[in-house]
Structures are given as C-alpha cells and as structure tokens.
Amino acid sequence: MTIFGALGVAGSGMDVTRKWLDAVSDNIANMNNVTSTSEDAFQARYIQASEITSGDGGVQVSAALLSGDTDGRIVYDPTNPLADADGNVKTPDIDLSSQMTQLIMAQRGYQANAAVIDRAKSAYEAALTIGKS
C-alpha cells in the first residue's frame, strides 16, 4: 500500500456509497409511479459492490441490478387516466421501509469514508509539520 493508500480506499468507498445513495433515491422517487396494467412497472435499482484486489485496494461498483417483479402491484384506481376497463393500474413493488433502511446504511457508509479521509489528511499534515522541524 502506498503512503496515500487510505485516501484511495476511502475515496473508492465514497464513490460506491454515492452511487448507492443515487439508486435508493431513484427508487424512492419512483415508487409511486403508475402505469397501465399492460406495461411493466418500475423496477428498483440496486448497486452491487466488489473489492479491488490490485494496487491499494478499495471497492468498486461491479453491477447496477434491477430487482423486483415487472408485474408490480395491481391497484384499483378508476379515476386514473391510465386505468384499464376494470379500473386497475400498476404500481411498483417497492417497500419504503426497506428503501429508508438502505438510505440510512448508505449515508452512514459515506460518513465513515469521509471521516477516514479527514483523519488521513490530518495525519499527513502532521507528518509534514514534523518534517519541517
């Protein structure tokens, strides 16, 4: 590991958690989307991370996966302009409590990586000050 390896590892962690936060916020923003029963419902997006084994290491996004059934949930809403002859529309099958849990975990991961960068910066600055003496 190089002298600045901690910055690289924490930076890659921040990048992955930022993409995780983006995916969760997209899922929450689209969880009330309504489509006609003949169309596919919005599918939740999830981020899959994997370790970087070369160089200083860290993590990377290995895939952005779609999850959930395109059948969604059938909801009776006869006043909706997209409703079929029976008055049904399709909504995504996304659980808000699960998404909020994902949001909190991603936020904590981002904060932890930001704290590592801050502490590494302080340590590097202290090392430069010692070298000046």
* Residue tagged 């599918």 (tokens): 43
Alpha carbon of residue 21 to chain centroid: 3
Ramachandran assignment for 72, one of left (phi > 0), alpha (psi -120 to 50 degrees), beta (any other): left
40 — pLDDT class (breaks 50, 70, 90): very high
pLDDT in tens, 7-33: 888 989 999 999 999 999 999 999 999
Going from the C-alpha of 30 to that of each of 48, 73, 78, 97, 112, the distances in angstroms are 20, 14, 21, 14, 28
* CB contact at 8 A, 132 and 53: no
Going from the C-alpha of 80 to that of each of 18, 33, 36, 50, the distances in angstroms are 35, 12, 9, 43
pLDDT at 131: 65
Domain locations in the chain? 5-132
78 — pLDDT class (breaks 50, 70, 90): very high
pLDDT at 27: 95
Q: What is the pTM of this model?
A: 0.83
pLDDT in tens, 82-98: 999 999 999 999 999 99
Beta-strand runs (E) in the chain: 44-51, 59-67, 73-76, 88-91
2 — pLDDT class (breaks 50, 70, 90): low
